[in-house]
Amino acid sequence: MPSLSATAPTAENLADGAATSVESRFGKPSGGWRLSLYAVIFESETRAGRAFDLSLIAVILFSVMVVVLDSVPSIHARWGDTFGILEWVFTLVFTVEYIARLACLHRPLRYARSFYGVIDLLALLPTYLAILTPGLSVLIDVRILRLLRVFRIFKMSRYAAEYRALATALAASRRKIMVFVGFVGMVVLVLGTLMYVVEGPVHGFTSIPVAIYWAISTMTTVGFGDLVPKTGLGRAIASVMMLLGWGVLAVPTGIVSAEMVRHGRDGSPEERSAPAPAPVEPPAGRGLLADVISTPAADPSRPCGACGAGAHAADARFCRRCGQSLG
């Protein structure tokens, strides 16, 4: 029976899977300088690829920090010229990187239209638009979207296992979360309307949308304090909504956490539904012992009574997952 370490997905396996996805979607060059450039940019498990990813993360974080600090008037007055020079340096770096990504792919237009291709373009486009069209200088703050590029790097690096575990847990939880969000929406609508009836315009609840706004801020434990119930019944409704607010925070967290634990224990849905691995037969012609001894086939009809895992070898005495006796 293959060991769990041989079948469990590792960070390297998942990173290779991400690189394979890029190759299948956008095309890997066959050779030459384009293949060398592709290995540096898209294959994060190589030494050059890791160095490229770390350098790119540093540039992205530094550029985002410059955007944030430049929005402070006192800092801009003192360091505005320096920030302007740095912004051009960052823009040139991102421009060269964007062109390099397109140049080393077999289908560059498909990459340019993809989600991360658009994010890459938005990382450099605002600076050029602000220079060419001064009226569009307000768009320069869109540069903060550069931060989204870090997630693409995480997806293809040593964090691929954690990235996939979180994405799988969120995807598996989406229906439960949607049901819960729908329930919360109905509660907010009903109690907000009830608060409008109880308090009324005289206490600031001038319409149902205003009351719903108050209900959302109260249930999420934000409580701006701009609207406060004055009547006893209104305060009772507010108390109920405050208590419900704890559930709003706890329930989605519990749903996603349970799915992450399940993913770590049982694997992803694709791995759980995959057929049992075929037994490994020893090569023929290695003598009588090699021809007689073979790995027992997995028996799917022998599930574990403790955890339910199946696909045990015919001669297995203990569960391959939890270690309990198979009886």
Q: What is the pLDDT of residue 154?
A: 64
pLDDT in the model for residue 1: 42
Domain boundaries, the chain: 10-158, 162-273, 294-327
**Predicted local confidence at residue 156, as pLDDT:** 56
**pLDDT of the residue at 298:** 52
The one-letter amino acid at 73: P
Looking at this protein, which amino acid is placed at residue 293?
I
For domain 162-273, give the fold.
Helix Hairpins (1.10.287)
Q: Nearest 5°: CA angle at 258, between 254 and 259? A: 120
What burial class does residue 304 get, using C-beta atoms within 10 Å of its C-beta: 0-12 exposed, 13-18 middle, 19+ buried? buried
Element containing residue 215 per DSSP (H, E): helix 208-219
The confidence score (pLDDT) of residue 8 equals: 40
The reply to whether 10-158 and 162-273 are identical in fold is no
- The pLDDT of residue 12: 46
User: What's the first-to-final CA gap in the chain, in angstroms?
Assistant: 18
Q: How far is CA 160 from CA 63, 101, 153, 157, in A?
A: 24, 21, 9, 6
* CATH T-level fold of 10-158: Four Helix Bundle (Hemerythrin (Met), subunit A) (1.20.120)
CA atoms of 148 and 277, how far apart (whole Å): 38
Give every CB contact of residue 12 below 8 A, 6+ residues apart in sequence.
45
Pairing of strands 298-299, 312-313: antiparallel
pLDDT 10s digit of each residue in the chain, 327 long? 444 344 344 444 444 445 556 677 888 888 889 899 988 888 877 888 888 988 988 998 898 898 889 889 999 999 989 998 998 899 899 999 999 999 999 889 999 998 888 888 888 887 888 777 766 656 666 777 777 777 766 665 556 677 778 888 888 889 999 999 999 999 999 999 999 999 999 999 999 999 999 999 998 888 788 889 999 999 999 999 999 888 888 888 888 888 888 877 765 555 555 555 555 555 555 554 444 444 455 555 667 777 777 777 777 777 777 777 776
Task: Give the pLDDT confidence score for residue 140 in this predicted structure.
Answer: 66
State the Cα–Cα distance between residues 24 and 220, nearest whole angstrom.
Answer: 43
- With a threshold of 0.75, does the pTM exceed it? no
Residues with Cβ within 8 Å of residue 234, at least 6 apart in sequence:
195, 198, 199, 203
User: What's the half-sphere exposure (Cβ side, CA atoms, 13 Å) at 154?
Assistant: 13
pLDDT of residue 281: 56
